[in-house]
Amino acid sequence: MCAKHSCGGHHSKDHPCNCKMRGFLQACLLLLVARSEGYGYTLLQDLNNFGLMQQSDIGAVYRNLRSLEDAGHIVSEWQDSESGPEKRVYRITSAGRHRLLQWKEALLENRRQIDSFLTLLENSVSQ
Amino acid sequence: MCAKHSCGGHHSKDHPCNCKMRGFLQACLLLLVARSEGYGYTLLQDLNNFGLMQQSDIGAVYRNLRSLEDAGHIVSEWQDSESGPEKRVYRITSAGRHRLLQWKEALLENRRQIDSFLTLLENSVSQ
DNA sequence: ATGAGCTATATGCACTACACATTTAGGGGG
DNA sequence: CCCCCTAAATGTGTAGTGCATATAGCTCAT
């Protein structure tokens, strides 16, 4: 388990085949914030805990949160902690909820494509 | 239907949310070539016909075919056509077949992640 | 016979999300 | 005092892609 970033991931050297979904990180962050308000550092762990991503980059998390805020899908607020540095806590906006439904459609399409691939592969192997 | 590239796609302006799978094109090309030998120009249409991708870039197709060849997963051979220019026909290698199984695993993982996302989303909405 | 359109391959260029690393800073414990 | 944890942010390089353009052989209508 990754001790460096406490992200729960294994940071194993990339498999020869990986097929990262571009933008999926942003969609996941939006989803997690929609469930309940949160901040970067723990959202990183949530990604793992909910089976959304295997390993994530903390830098990418912060950048995507900012990007979501710039787009008006989430809003942030500084919250000082009783112990440790301040946290920038995010919560979703109504625009963000709308966006989430668009992500849902996009991911359904992705799944259709994957299913097409897998069934085609099975048919090829069995022939 | 796209007349410019004859790719069967609609080339609609990108939705605000798209979640393209990086490397998926290469996996699809490998799969199609595994089914039966083929060449760039028609593989582009096959991507659409088999529901693997909605719209594709012919340039990306050729580049990925070359990349697959450089990696030794497919091999090519010039084949002169009775009508029209020559075709570079590809067929898969044993290394390519092995690679295809790795792609399968990667895509199964992708589908798990998508399913995690969708179920989490449903739970959030229903609450 | 010539130009338009199709088939076919290939390269140029710019963009962007991401991987990996580093920086800054507050706080607690040995 | 140093080390580690929490927390946010930036810097840099890159790979896959989108869009455009170049080249060339062949067919067919005007």
What tens digit of pLDDT does each residue of A8-22 get?
Answer: 333 333 456 889 999
H or E segment at A92?
strand A87-92
Q: How confident is the model at residue B12 (pLDDT cuts 50, 70, 90)?
A: very low
Residue B76 C-alpha, separation from nearest chain A C-alpha, in angstroms: 20
- Whether any strand D atom is under 7 angstroms from the Cβ of A42: the reply reads yes
B96 compared with B125, residue with greater pLDDT:
B96
**How far, in Å, CA of B93 to CA of B50, rounded?**
22
Q: Could you report the per-residue pLDDT of A9-67, keeping only the tens digit for each?
A: 333 334 568 899 999 999 999 999 999 999 999 999 999 999 999 889 999 999 999 99
pLDDT tier at B45, thresholds 50, 70, 90: very high
Supply angle C-alpha B79, B31, B55, rounded to 5: 90
**Cβ neighbours of A21 in B, within 8 Å:** 19-22, 110, 113-114
Between A and B, how many CB-CB pairs are < 8 A? Answer: 128
**For residue A49, what pLDDT is reported?**
94
The greatest distance separating any two alpha carbons of chain A, rounded to the nearest whole angstrom, comes to 64
Q: What is the pLDDT of residue A3?
A: 35
CB contact (8 A) between residue A31 and residue B116: no
The rounded mean pLDDT for chain B is 87
Q: What are the pLDDT digits (tens) for A65-112? A: 999 999 999 999 999 888 889 999 999 999 999 999 999 999 999 999
Tokens 């010039």 sit on residue: B78
Q: Which of A10, A5, A126, A26 is nearest to A68 (CA)?
A: A26
Q: So what's the pLDDT on residue A127?
A: 54
Nearest chain B alpha carbon to A21:
B21
pLDDT at residue B95 greater than cutoff 60: yes
- Tell me if residue A87 falls in helix, strand or coil: strand
pLDDT value of residue A4: 39
Per-residue model confidence (pLDDT) at position B83: 82
- Neighbouring residues of A88: CB distance < 8 A, sequence distance ≥ 6: A39, A40, A65, A76, A77, A78, A79
Could you tell me the distance in Å between the CA of residue B127 and the C1' of nucleotide C10? 54
Global pTM reads 0.87
Using an 8 Å CB-CB cutoff, list chain B residues near A115.
Answer: 111
